[in-house]
Amino acid sequence: MSIFKDTGHLFRFAALFVVGVTSILVVRAIVIPRSFGQYGHYRGAALKEIAKLPIKYAGHQACEVCHTDIVATKNAGKHAGVNCEACHGPLAKHADDPSIVPAKLDTATLCVKCHAASAAKPKGFPQVKADEHSGGLPCETCHQPHSPAIAAGGAK
């Protein structure tokens, strides 16, 4: 049994190995984020963090709670499919605190963002050459923005 004579060396080596492995596992437990691997090879808590970001656009459902008269007008007209904030801009702050009143819109510059004539646009989409059509007058002189068709009684 002469080959097992100096087994003490092996045990000391093995002890060193165990200490090494243990320290690696301890460092791993400290360094790796708690939720890493919860759903996959990433930090599961990141999903919650991203979902918690603040919203800027309240969504038309929030507008419709209070502005029922305008929603009724809009839904009867050509702009039924256009959501409030598409023209009025991000208004989550106004939805949270109605005392924050948004600025009035300028129809002379707003409407042409969609309705300026261009041969590149789909043919069925209503388009005008603003200077020829209104001579620079704001669109709301004739059209009611929430129900713009004049024939449908939308004229002012």
117 binds another protein (CB under 8 A): yes
13 binds another protein (CB under 8 A): no
Cβ-based neighbour number of residue 10 at 10 Å: 10
Name which position in 97, 118, 151, 156 contacts another protein (CB under 8 A). Answer: 118
Residues forming beta bridges with residue 51, ordered by sequence position: none
Binding mask 86-115 for another protein (x = CB under 8 A): xx-xx----------------------xx-
Q: What are phi and psi of 43, to 5 degrees?
A: -85, 110
Stretch that binds another protein, among 45-53, 99-107, 133-141, 147-155 (CB under 8 A): 45-53
Residues contacting 92, CB < 8 A, separation 6+: 54, 55, 56, 57, 58, 62
Stretch that binds another protein, among 66-74, 79-87, 139-147, 148-156 (CB under 8 A): 79-87
